[in-house]
Amino acid sequence: MSRATSLAGVLLVVSIGSVSCLSDSPSPDTLKDYETALRRADSLRQAERTLQAATELGRAIALAPEPVAAAVARLRLAELFQRDRLWAAAEAEYRRSLSLDRTPAAHVGLADLLRHEHRFDESVSNYRSAIDLEPNSTQATAGLCRALIDAADTGSAVEACQTASEIEPSNVALRRLLGSALLREERYEEAAVLLLQDADLPASR
């Protein structure tokens, strides 16, 4: 899909989703239509039909029976935009989702985007917010470690990487990340122990 087509999809979703049908007592049909729109969007997203998926998510936002449901749809829309490299639209949807429901997933998604844009202070803040909500999230802790490495805050990066490795000790990728942070901190012997330990192992996902 071309970027121009994707941008047209963004404008379409904004116009559809600008009016919400939130109500205190949503009808069963409204809830059913909301869930159907989410399922269709997921299928279309998997098929990489971005414009159609965005349109269905716009419908879901308009049909959302409560703020939390709207937050779910906006989070998926943000992830869709981010995959299509529509950074500004993705950031806007992450923030709208968080305004409705503060979730670790929305904070991590926004933090990943901000890290991509080299906005490290904001990225670190959002990773930390995700960790506050879900302390054992290796995704958030590993993301924090990467953002701190990118920001050249090596001492804090080592601490974050150690925490991530403690949460999931068998994760090779996290141990390598810790090794990288130790190298940046010029703690060469400790880094060598970790990196040589896993030299012949595939990185965990």
Among residues 53, 61, 75, 76, which one has the least CA distance to residue 15?
61
CA-based nearest residue to 150, from 117, 172, 128, 173: 117
User: By C-alpha distance, which of 124, 137, 196 is closest to 168?
Assistant: 137
Q: For 103-120, what is each residue's pLDDT tens digit?
A: 999 999 999 999 999 999
64-87: pLDDT as tens digits: 989 999 999 999 999 999 999 999
Structure tokens of 45? 């997203």
The predicted-structure confidence for 157-201, as pLDDT tens digits, reads as follows 999 999 888 888 888 888 889 999 999 889 989 888 888 876 655
Question: Mean pLDDT, to the nearest integer, of 106-135?
Answer: 97
pLDDT at 173: 86
Residues 6+ apart with CB under 8 A from 18: none
Please count the helices (runs of H) and the strands (runs of E) in the chain.
11, 0
